[in-house]
Amino acid sequence: MKPDLFLKVLNENGIGAFYGVPDSTLKHFCAHLTGQVSQKKHLICANEGAAIGMAIGYHLATGEIPVVYMQNSGLGNSVNPLLSLGDPDVYSIPTLLIIGWRGEPGKKDEPQHKKQGRVTLELLESMEIPFSILDNNDAYVSEVVATATGWMKENNAPYALVIKKGTFDSVASLHFDEKAYAMTRETAIDQILEAVEDDSIVVSTTGMASREVFELREKKGEAHHKDFLTVGGMGHCSQIAMGIAMQKPDRQVICIDGDGAAIMHMGSMASIGAARLSNLTHIVMNNGVHDSVGGQPNASRNVTLTGIATACGYSSVGPVDTPQALKSAIQDAGSAQCSCFLEVFVRRGHRPELGRPTQTPIENKKAFMEYVR
């Protein structure tokens, strides 16, 4: 299905405002929105729950039906506002949910999506949200959207369109003018792994960062037991790292985070800063986009993450944009005995041939726990 056709059908049904978090299944539709819909009617939000809030605000201001788009893993972030605000038993807010169906039963996918995919439809049923499933057969898309719109108008409640993998035709990649930073994310991660102390513990965020950590270890002929690869749970790796650091105060813990992930659950930075840990180094890779799901822009280039870290109480804070400065900063953090925050500015994108971890999450967990203990 061509994304412009889907957008046209939505517009014909009076739906023209979009809020959400990008998803690889929806990436071509998301890219089309970014290129075609004004910022007044399209916002990439910090997390899916926030997107529901934006949609509610839009409906209260206009009386019109908004869209909230997400990966099915994002349903977890949206359950509270959907049920405690948007539900017919509370404020009764009509909202069209467009949900990318990762881990659809019978389809090969990454381990973090298997359970999510298996229970997606059951979760919607438990929430009493009716849904339709869309694939790349666009012959009935007008009928499906019209049915969804009619139901939302009659019931003043959310309706979901569950989108199968491969539904949308590709569109041109998004292009941005930006500073030519010295490092890619993979180059920066390589510098980090080279600079950390031998007995350090590494926790990396979901998506490309963990894939690059794994491949760099393979390239160096090193084992993977020092690294916890947070393959799912976007935005939570810093709290995993904090939980480890609090229990292992004699070990240096390195958190390799993403900018979109850090923003998604930014309150975690306040918890880290308040804890005044002496052995946690929180490193955020800032490339300004959601790189793992299509390269849509996030807010990281419009906020000062180092300023936020300072306000949250991190003891040592600094921006970094060269390999030499990064290596030096990691070494300084190891000897500083304080909570450190580094914002590492890197170029967008990744190697097209980048592989995926060959260990299962359970294998990674067991080896990691043995090392940590």
**Per-domain boundaries in the chain:** 3-163, 185-372
Give residues with Cβ within 8 angstroms of 130, minimum separation 6.
124, 151, 159, 160
Among 226, 244, 234, residue whose Cα is nearest residue 205: 234
Between CA 224 and CA 366 the distance in angstroms is 11
Instruction: Give the pLDDT of residue 178.
Output: 73
Q: Does 373 have pLDDT greater than 70? A: yes
Q: What percent of the chain has pLDDT over 90?
A: 85
- Strands 280-286 and 227-229 come out as unpaired
pLDDT bracket for residue 174 (50, 70, 90):
low
The CA distance from 176 to 163, in Å, is 28
Q: Give one word for 319, left, alpha or beta, with left for phi > 0 and alpha for psi -120 to 50.
A: beta
Nearest to 202 by CA among 130, 152, 253, 261: 253
Residue given tokens 């993998």 in the structure block: 165
pLDDT tens column, 7-18 = 999 999 999 999
- Torsion of the alpha carbons at 46, 49, 54 and 56, rounded to the nearest 10: 180
Cα 325 to chain centroid distance, Å, stands at 27
Measure Cα distances from 106 to 102, 114, 163 in Å: 11, 10, 15
294 phi, psi to nearest 5 deg: 125, -5
Instruction: Quote the tokens at residue 311.
Output: 């306000």
Binning the chain into helix, strand and coil, the percentages to the nearest 5 are 45, 15, 35
Please determine, for residue 297, whether its predicted confidence score (pLDDT) is greater than 90.
Answer: no
Identify the weakest region by mean pLDDT among 228-232, 320-324, 334-338, 347-351. Answer: 334-338
User: Percent of the chain at pLDDT above 70?
Assistant: 99
User: In this structure, what are the phi and psi dihedrals at residue 22, rounded to the nearest 5 degrees?
Assistant: -60, 155
Check if the beta carbon of residue 1 is closer than 8 Å to that of residue 168: yes
CA dihedral 248, 214, 267, 295 (to 10 degrees): 170
Are 208 and 292 in contact by the 8 Å Cβ rule? The answer is: yes
CA 350 vs CA 78, 212, 292: distances in Å: 29, 9, 9
Cα gap 315→278, rounded to integer Å: 9
Max CA-CA distance within the chain? Answer: 63
DSSP per residue, 190-201: HHHHHHS-TT-E
Report the C-alpha gap between 194 and 203 in whole angstroms: 15
User: What CATH fold (topology level) applies to the domain 185-372?
Assistant: Rossmann fold (3.40.50)
User: Given this model, what pLDDT does residue 179 score?
Assistant: 77
When the pLDDT of each residue in the chain is averaged and rounded to a whole number, the result is 94
Say whether pLDDT at 102 is over 80: yes
Q: What is the pLDDT of residues 42-90, one digit of tens each?
A: 999 999 999 999 999 999 999 999 999 999 999 999 999 999 999 999 9
Q: What is the mean pLDDT of residues 197-221?
A: 95
Average pLDDT on 149-169 reads: 97
Q: What does the block give as tokens for 82? A: 């959907």
- Cβ atoms of 204 and 237 within 8 Å: the answer is yes
- What is the side-by-side strand order in the sheet with 131-134? 42-44, 18-20, 67-71, 96-100, 159-163, 131-134
Residues comprising the chain, all counted? 373
Contact 67, 94 (CB under 8 A): no
- For domain 3-163, give the fold: Rossmann fold (3.40.50)
Weakest-pLDDT range from 40-49, 161-170, 241-250, 293-302: 293-302
φ, ψ dihedrals at 55, nearest 5°: -65, -40
Please, which pLDDT band fits residue 175 given cuts at 50, 70 and 90? low
Evaluate whether 343 touches 306 at the Cβ level (below 8 Å): yes
Looking at residues 321-326, what average pLDDT do you find? 94
CA–CA gap between residue 139 and residue 16 (Å, rounded)? 21
How many other C-beta atoms are found inside a 10 Å radius of the C-beta of residue 219? 9
pLDDT at 176 over 70: no
